[in-house]
Structure 1
Amino acid sequence: MAQQTKATIIKAEMSDETQEDAVHTAAEALDRFQEVTEIPEFIKKEFDKKYGPSWHCIVGTNFCSYFTHLQECFVYFSLNGRDYLLFKTPAT
């Protein structure tokens, strides 16, 4: 993963292990995809597979958010000049 630099966790409510997985998955997405729109889709689908539905992922440089998430299922971090918001809601 050549692109990965140190991620900065801005806010989190999940285990350290799952936070590390989120950063690793984001770094993998950066290596795999050129189109930024493919990055959140990849992260969301990977977390749905690993941790069950319903994960949501937002990636960008300037956004605001307000949402409800399941306990221990939220991380907001910065990596390579972009912010990543990843959270899980109850499955419908």
Structure 2
Amino acid sequence: MANGMAIDKSRAVIDKSDMLPEMEDDAVYVAANAMEKHNIDMHIASYIKHEFDRKYKPTWNCIVGKNFGSFIHHDRGGFVSFRLNGLNVLLFKLG
């Protein structure tokens, strides 16, 4: 991450999603870009959250890390959980 190496987006594993496939693909694309630019989980999450707020209107929330649990509420069509480059990404819209 943040080492100048391109992230292979095709290696993303979607765990659960209720997003349209195009938005899901965009989530992986944005996450890969974030991982190429940043090496701190919080900065990766912030990048993804702000990009989705900009593209798909607020309010998006994002959690990134190797190991975490969650129990959340989200707007219909605004949830994806996936693994990419050794990290788990949880992205969801609420409000």
TM-score under structure 2 normalisation?
0.90
Q: Does 1:54 align with 2:59?
A: yes
Q: Does 1:25 align with 2:27?
A: no
Query: Which residue pairs with 2:88 in the alignment?
Result: 83
Partners of 1:30 and 1:67 in 2: CA distance: 24
Q: Tell me the residue number matched to 2:17.
A: 12
* CA drift at 1:69: 0.3
Residues 1:38 and 2:53 are matched in the alignment: no
Structure number with higher helix proportion? 2
How far apart are 1:61 and its partner, in Å? 1.1
State the match for 2:69 in structure 1: 64
Equivalent pairs counted in the alignment come to: 90
2:19 partner amino acid:
M
Q: CA deviation at 1:34?
A: 2.6
Q: Following the alignment from structure 1 to structure 2, what is the Cα–Cα distance between the partners of residues 82 and 9?
A: 12
Task: Provide Cα deviations, 1:19-50, integer angstroms capped at 9, x if missing partner.
Answer: 00000000000111132321000000000000
Identity %: 46
- Considering only aligned residues, what root-mean-square deviation do their CA atoms show, in Å? 1.1
Provide the rounded CA distance (Å) in 1 between the counterparts of 2:24 and 2:83. Answer: 12
Stretch deviating more after TM superposition (14-23 or 25-34): 25-34
Structure-2 separation of matches of 1:31 and 1:25: 10
Letter in 2 for 1:30: M
